[in-house]
Chains A and B, each alone.
Chain A
């Protein structure tokens, strides 16, 4: 067995990099770093306690139970000692032996009840707290501003919803046991000293040795364990990447290089795992040696006392039993320190999520927007920007009359998508106002606003679940017939019927078994079932094959019938079909009118249209630049 020192390892890796290609890695470089922080942070503890508070009675019960359990553990060797000294004296004393056995039986029963009670209570409370915390975070995320969600990776949030709550659960479960351990430790010391002061002190003298050893061992061991954990995650990450990216890997013929790189990772992992094992196992002979020393001490010192007749043999037996349990609490208590450190870090991260500001709240006197409102949408001098110093919309005013379809067009970055998001109050305007059905969106409840404004996003998003559930998302009252009717109306019925279980087919992985066009049709059907007065739609830019394209155009017409429509349009067909067209450029409204009017006007719209591209988004940038230059000149 050869000890690896870090220098050696570095040499090994330098050695291999000479032969490895310069631009290649497998898996990611780092994983989220373990924080070796404070083990106790009162603010975090207070916040976490709030989650435990509802279950405090059960916590008190289990603390009482763990104390009772500890008492039985302390008492059993004493009872054995008593049985020997008072029951098995010369000639024998059956009554005393009977008493001892009765006491033993009582302790065993108490032990059984207490351990059952403690473990079951703590286990349940820890699970409940875990689920409560997760729910609190999840609920918070439902209300957090979209600008925050835009900036945050889903993966990072998920690790808080899962990893961090798990380490809190571990902490809760072990901390009650730690209370028992601490009491047991103190109890053993007290019992040993009171049984025989001198012998007790002599025996206990080995205990500090273990503390000192652990103190030296712990930081090093922790680093080794962490390293082993890290390399393991990295190797697993590389494996997952190799599986997920296998098509690209084969396509680009990287198998051999990747195998070599993966071998490096896996081998490095093997080394760190073995180092971790060494650190874990080295404690075994140390603890065994200390136990041996303590037992030898008791035998020699205690034995001589017995020989002298100044100590009863039962006490020696009791001592020997205590020694065998002696080091367990020390071991688990030092481990508890690391668990607490981890829990504090996780706790802080959980609190961060819980404290995320809710950007948009309903006003206290917000009213519900009812279905009898007229369905108009109005922008009044709206100024809005994600960064207040760089407005995306600059004093935009327009009105969409009830039942009218308005197409919003303009080059990328003109503020189309932001305008759409404001109708739904995803963000707050900086100044001006957005009115829906004559009500300022800030004066109505968001829930009711959502029911009156249906949105179809550019990227259709489907949830795992049946086709039926997806179409009637958040409209559970909708009957199956309504769903089928909606699907028929948008022309999705046929392909749904062809799916293995029709409307009850479960869509896997966000509907990856459907084509983009089909997903789009489903999202149309979803909006139709929601049956809102106002429809806000962001047409997809990605080109869909021409066959589906036609279906979608027809579906769009159905969808807009009898509704107020605001469409961010990319397709000429959609644009021409609109009642009115609003042209945005750089956050300003520059033209407004129907197709013929705008063509007559000969502005930006007419120029774009005359270039005869299938979609405004297909127009090459340099042509746009030319137009802009031309527009600036005139």
Chain B
């Protein structure tokens, strides 16, 4: 295996160690685990938290300084005019210095808080990506890929922003509210209480609004994805729509889905607006009360105008953070739920792994053996394979045929250990495939699957997917053997043409040929075609078979198909029924046997009237 450690910059660290760190803390409450994980970036986290405290304290001195300046302007202390002017300069410069300081520390607070978040996001991303790539087929069978993508993108985002929108806000709000309240109340009890009176109400409204918005947001997402599905299916199935003149029907479907979503969108606007306006209202009411009570105190000579002004400024400063309390609550709620989902994927065991003492596979003769293999898919009651045994030697071609559900494809999946056998064993040159490294095993076995996944990249990169170091000439040769070269040569940018979701789309047959080229490039010791020529016409299939015959001498070839013409030339054909091999032999012996294989052959080659007779005779 090639590792690419060299050349990383030091700050980046090693992917493996990031991944290992993300896995630690298993079993902890998600929020605790996430917090500890974030604090691993201790110097950045320390700067962020320290800067938050300092910025908040500086912020709190501004109203005082302003009030003082106002009093000095009125020369309440009755010093000389020069002395008063000097004092004003002093106030002004202090205020300027504090403002600049506040700005700089707020920058540090925000930048480092985000930086911690981005680093956490980077590391969790790597860990998730790695985990998903290693979770076995049996896991991916159960889980919808869309759900997994949601966890990897959206849930991860919820965890990433937790430090800056959750933890840092806690610090900010505790300093501002705690220290601010102490300052205000110690200056004047009544005015202090009045200025803070809006805070509990706003905090409550803001939190409940955020939680309500979050709830409707989740429902809205569902409705919007239903709408997306209507549009997507309509455009994808436009021919069916047109063929049944279903345009009106489709518009009705669209309108129904759209109305649903629109109603909820309006509801959300309502929740948001009702809350923001009532929060502003309560703030101003409190301000009016402070103005009234403070005004009477000023008139009574119990308070200076400057102190009153400093109370009013305090309020404007506190207003924003108090309103954002809801966001903080939301951040905690989101991180907790996202963390549950995210870490539960991260903590899954990778069932198919190298054994501790695994050695690389050594292919000597190239003999594949199935020894009494049993297999049942996870959670299934009946087994898919029950006691399959066969041997295939290098140079041999084995055909496997059977009804859907007979277990044909399972055989293809077991050889490269995409699943593990339930009982029995599979060996290659005498080595149990569970005792060798996965890496070496999968390099020796190539499976051409039924469905070909195209990656959004050039054709060349797609063919070289299993061996990205391959030389161009080898890639072309593989394409030639798979009868794909001529088609590629005719494309605008031949091998550099981008295919896949955002590129040129290939037909089913072309995709399958590409998959064959992919596998041919690997020069595997065992090559398995899993119904991978269904969309290729018989002529092309014939040419492919001829082209690869040259290499087939030191290779085991397994062809799984329900099209008999694809495999009747095999050295040995296994007829699979309900997970057992019921007939075995070459084409001629099986025909002569007159059993199930024979019946299938007749079904595929004879016209229907003959077929009916054959059916009656059975």
Contacts and interface: CB of A to CB of B under 8 A. Distances in A.
Given A155-B502, A242-B129, 11 more contacts: A111-B284, A123-B266, A128-B262, A138-B254, A248-B455, A252-B518, A254-B466, A266-B129, A292-B100, A307-B75, A510-B237
Interface in B573-618: 600, 603-605, 607-608, 611
Interface stretch (A81-89, A215-223, A395-403): A81-89
A123 B269 contact: yes
B122 A158 contact: no
A450 B539 contact: no
Interface string A110-145: 011001100110011001100100110011011100
A18 B7 contact: yes
Given A139-B251, A474-B244, A19 B118 contact: no
Interface in A14-43: 15-16, 18-29
Interface stretch (A47-55, A191-199, A312-320, A430-438): A312-320
Contacts of A141: 234-235, 238
Nearest to B88: A303
A28 B280 contact: no
Given A23-B470, A266-B122, A313-B74, A157 B235 contact: yes
Contact of A613 (B75, B251, B538): B538
A256 B2 contact: yes
Nearest to B535: A542
B12 interface: yes
B218 interface: no
Given A21-B468, A307-B75, A543-B563, A284 B309 contact: no
Given A119-B277, A134-B258, A461-B237, A88 B299 contact: yes
A547 B600 CA distance: 9
B416 to A, nearest CB: 7
B416 A296 contact: no
B305 A547 contact: no
Contacts of B351: none
Interface in A222-278: 235-237, 239-260, 262-263, 266-267, 269-270, 273-274, 277-278
Given A155-B502, A287-B103, A304-B85, A515 B404 contact: yes
Given A23-B468, A288-B102, A324-B316, A542 B534 contact: yes
B517 to A, nearest CB: 12
Nearest to A302: B73
Interface string B221-254: 0000000110111111111111111111111001
Nearest to B283: A108
A76 B283 CA distance: 13
B170 interface: no
A573 B608 contact: yes
B590 to A, nearest CB: 15
Contacts of A186: none
B605 A320 contact: no
A108 B285 contact: yes
Interface in A298-354: 299-300, 302-304, 306-307, 313-314, 316-317, 320-321, 324
A451 B245 CA distance: 7
B538 A620 contact: yes
A245 B309 contact: no
A257 B447 CA distance: 19
A142 B130 contact: no
B95 interface: yes
A530 B241 CA distance: 13
A128 B416 CA distance: 54
Contacts of B600: 546
Contact of B461 (A23, A111, A324): A23
Interface in A527-572: 530, 542-543, 545-550, 553, 572
B245 to A, nearest CB: 2
A158 B235 contact: yes
Contacts of A138: 231, 234, 251, 254
Interface string B558-576: 0000110100000000000
Given A300-B89, A317-B309, A454-B243, A23 B118 contact: no
B37 interface: no
Interface in B256-284: 258, 261-262, 265-266, 269-270, 272-274, 276-278, 280-281, 284
Contacts of B153: 236, 239-240
Most buried by A among B85, B438, B446, B608: B608
Contacts of A253: 438-439, 442-443, 466
B247 A142 contact: yes
B107 interface: yes
Contacts of A135: 251, 254-255, 258
A454 to B, nearest CB: 7
A70 B539 CA distance: 77
Given A23-B475, A94-B299, A235-B125, A250 B100 contact: no
A529 to B, nearest CB: 10
A282 interface: yes
B3 interface: yes
19 contacts: A23-B468, A24-B465, A116-B273, A142-B241, A143-B247, A155-B502, A158-B228, A248-B452, A285-B104, A288-B102, A299-B88, A307-B85, A317-B70, A457-B240, A461-B236, A473-B244, A543-B563, A545-B562, A546-B600
A464 B234 CA distance: 11
Contacts of B6: 19
Query: Which 3 pairs from chain A and chain B are nearest by CB?
Result: A450-B245, A620-B539, A292-B99
Contact of B457 (A25, A239, A293, A572): A25
A207 B15 CA distance: 48
A457 B89 CA distance: 85
B126 A259 contact: yes
Contacts of B238: 141, 146, 149
